[in-house]
A and B are shown apart, each in its own frame.
Chain A
Amino acid sequence: MRSISRWMRRILAKVIEFCMKHAESLDPEELDAWDDDFFKMDNSTLFDIIKAANYLDIKSLLDLTCKTVANMIKGKSPEEIRRIFNIKNDFTPEEEQEVRMENQCALEHE
């Protein structure tokens, strides 16, 4: 029998905390405020919860976590986004030129 690692226990505890809060409270304003607080976590935990919500098929949690990630992206420059998420630039210099030209509409009018 496999034991649940301490890490997994921590993530599951958070998921359960979310589910219980959303089951007991019906006031949308209260829930919004609680959610804002709940999602103040580091990226690593956030992505772990996304994967857990995806695996357990908890739509509301999956929806909110993806929205949280989207909000982290909105309005930031490509360099900032790379830094926040550690996305490695794996284009060759020629490819990068090409890609930047193709995406004029995204970059020109910031």
Chain B
Amino acid sequence: MSRDAESSGTAVDRISNMPSNIKDLILERLSIHDAAKMGVLSTTWRDLWVTNPHLVFDDIFFSRLHNGMKRPRPSKSSRIISNILLAHIGPILNFTLHIPMCSLLHNCSDKEIWIKNISKNGVRNLKLINPSCDPYKIPSSLFSCLDLTHLNLSRCMLNPPRKFGGFCYLVNVELHRVKITGDMSFGTQLEELVLHECSGMEHLGCQFKNSNNLTLLKIETGSINKEDIDLGWFECVQKVTNLSLMRHLFQENSRIEINNLDKLLGNMSRINSLLLGGFSLESLKSDTAVLKRPMATLENLYIHSAGFCDSGDLHYVLCLIKSSPNLRYLYISLYGKVNRSKDANLSHLTALQSDMIMDQLENVEIYGMTGTKPELQFVKLLLESTPSLRLLKLNMEPRDNPLQELRIAQDLLLYPRASSRAQIIWAEIVREYGDY
């Protein structure tokens, strides 16, 4: 590389003379090991290392640590982290702790001391990843981290103190497999909330009773849940623009419902992006309030694991589409539905056909088609009602059935199109589900 060969030529140390915000940006992009290495180079860099506000003890850190040892020694690893924290001066803005599975650090109590330490040092961005199946009980000093802006917890247990007022500056919370044991509020500034396979979510309801700043809500559950999910605790959701409700179907589980889904959608008057997957959409019957008043701000709709041979889903998906007159992008994935009966009730399709015009819809992706009648009717209806359509991407399941593909393609060619610019493409790569 040219860089190694030619240095700056005049032997001037430019990097050490950079403004401090730039040196901070460079340090932020270095692992702990590399940043510590910088610390032995000169007095300037020693000061920078000691005041480095980004302490990321992630799996890369631990694997480099363990590479040098014959076998991982938890006392030594623990001592190294403690020493770094002890020698540190100044605020710690960014703290990540990701203890690897193999390490015996799981059982040591130093973690609590570290968290207490950073709570006193103004931590803003905190990430605690626990890979083991036993949830890690987060110490109460977490709730003293009053400068927190971003919180990311994995496989932990949150035991909020009573009358905890929330974090004044917290805007982003991501919880993976976290168990919440008591009512708690994250604070009024919360904008983004991601809950992945968490339990005790209803304890978060208190902060959503009144006006709040939530704009992004993403809830994912696994297939462990056999009961319907109740979202009634989300009362005040006016500012939400992105909603994602996803259930991963690992086996052919019964469809469970989201209670109050229609009420939720009805209250989200500014919703821009909606993702629904793995839930039964029965609560969206066409006579519910949400579908009487259109979702005028909805531009992106992602439906995952829809089953069009099941007469239910097709009807509700169509209702959703019809209630979104300004929809610009539609994504439907038909995977995950094993029970595909061939005959389905197409009467509601024809009923909706007459008055459906989606004049903003430009981009449609449909994955996992098997060529059944309802699917084809749906595509036909879309082509007829979308005068602005530019791209329709389709994909078949199973993949290598060229005769089937040809048959579908022949059918598609015959359908009239409202948009003269519409292109129909067979997709090679399938996108998992909508990313924002």
Question: Which residues of A are interface residues toward B (Cβ below 8 A)?
Answer: 40-44, 46-47, 50-51, 54, 62-63, 66-67, 69-70, 72-78, 81-91, 95-96, 99-100, 102-110
Confirm or deny: B29 has a beta carbon within 8 angstroms of a beta carbon on chain A.
yes
Task: Please determine whether B42 and A69 come into contact, CB atoms closer than 8 angstroms.
Answer: no
Confirm or deny: B87 has a beta carbon within 8 angstroms of a beta carbon on chain A.
yes
Task: Please determine whether B8 and A105 come into contact, CB atoms closer than 8 angstroms.
Answer: no
Q: Which 5 A-B pairs have the closest CB atoms?
A: A109-B68, A106-B36, A70-B29, A66-B25, A105-B80
A-B contact pairs, 14 of them (CB 8 A): A47-B18, A54-B19, A73-B38, A78-B40, A81-B37, A90-B42, A91-B42, A102-B39, A102-B83, A105-B83, A106-B39, A106-B40, A107-B36, A109-B69
Could you tell me the distance in whole angstroms from the C-beta of A88 to the nearest C-beta in chain B? 6
Task: Please determine whether A84 and B46 come into contact, CB atoms closer than 8 angstroms.
Answer: no
Confirm or deny: B65 has a beta carbon within 8 angstroms of a beta carbon on chain A.
yes
Q: Given the complex, which residues of B lie within 8 Å of A91, measured CB to CB?
A: 42-43, 46
Q: Given the complex, which residues of A lie within 8 Å of B46, measured CB to CB?
A: 91, 99
Confirm or deny: B133 has a beta carbon within 8 angstroms of a beta carbon on chain A.
no
Task: Please determine whether A87 and B7 come into contact, CB atoms closer than 8 angstroms.
Answer: no
> How big is chain B's contact interface, by range?
35 or more
Q: Which of B15, B19, B30, B32 contacts A74 (CB 8 A)?
A: B30
* Residues 143-168 of B contacting A (Cβ, < 8 Å): none
Nearest chain A residue, comparing its CB with the CB of B10? A44
Could you tell me the distance in whole angstroms from the C-beta of B75 to the nearest C-beta in chain A? 14
Against A, the Cβ 8 Å flags (1 = close, 0 = not) of B285-329 are 000000000000000000000000000000000000000000000
Task: Please determine whether B31 and A74 come into contact, CB atoms closer than 8 angstroms.
Answer: yes
Nearest chain A residue, comparing its CB with the CB of B31? A74
Confirm or deny: B67 has a beta carbon within 8 angstroms of a beta carbon on chain A.
yes
Beyond A43-B3, A43-B8, A66-B22, whether A85 also contacts B14 by CB under 8 A is yes
Confirm or deny: B16 has a beta carbon within 8 angstroms of a beta carbon on chain A.
yes
Could you tell me the distance in whole angstroms from the C-beta of B53 to the nearest C-beta in chain A? 15
Task: Please determine whether A103 and B36 come into contact, CB atoms closer than 8 angstroms.
Answer: yes
Nearest chain A residue, comparing its CB with the CB of B50? A102
Task: Please determine whether B40 and A107 come into contact, CB atoms closer than 8 angstroms.
Answer: yes
Q: Which of A84, A96, A104 contacts B4 (CB 8 A)?
A: A84
Task: Please determine whether B37 and A106 come into contact, CB atoms closer than 8 angstroms.
Answer: yes
Against A, the Cβ 8 Å flags (1 = close, 0 = not) of B26-68 are 1011111110111111110110010000000000000011011
CA distance A86 to B1 in the complex (A): 17
Beyond A74-B34, A109-B65, whether A42 also contacts B18 by CB under 8 A is no
Task: Please determine whether A81 and B7 come into contact, CB atoms closer than 8 angstroms.
Answer: no
Q: Given the complex, which residues of B lie within 8 Å of A105, measured CB to CB?
A: 32-33, 36, 65, 80, 83-84
CA distance A66 to B15 in the complex (A): 11
Confirm or deny: B429 has a beta carbon within 8 angstroms of a beta carbon on chain A.
no
Task: Please determine whether B14 and A81 come into contact, CB atoms closer than 8 angstroms.
Answer: no
Task: Please determine whether A86 and B42 come into contact, CB atoms closer than 8 angstroms.
Answer: no
CA distance A31 to B430 in the complex (A): 23
Q: Which of A51, A84, A102 contacts B7 (CB 8 A)?
A: A84
CA distance A100 to B10 in the complex (A): 29
CA distance A96 to B43 in the complex (A): 10
CA distance A100 to B8 in the complex (A): 27
Confirm or deny: B6 has a beta carbon within 8 angstroms of a beta carbon on chain A.
yes
- Taking A70-B26, A109-B67 as known contacts, 13 extra A-B pairs with beta carbons closer than 8 A to each other, sorted by chain A number, are A46-B3, A78-B37, A83-B7, A84-B3, A85-B7, A85-B15, A86-B8, A87-B45, A88-B42, A95-B43, A96-B40, A103-B39, A108-B68
Task: Please determine whether B13 and A73 come into contact, CB atoms closer than 8 angstroms.
Answer: no
Q: Given the complex, which residues of B lie within 8 Å of A70, measured CB to CB?
A: 26, 29-30, 34
Nearest chain B residue, comparing its CB with the CB of A96? B40
Task: Please determine whether A42 and B37 come into contact, CB atoms closer than 8 angstroms.
Answer: no
Q: Given the complex, which residues of B lie within 8 Å of A46, measured CB to CB?
A: 3
Beyond A40-B2, A69-B15, A74-B34, whether A99 also contacts B7 by CB under 8 A is no
Against A, the Cβ 8 Å flags (1 = close, 0 = not) of B235-270 are 000000000000000000000000000000000000
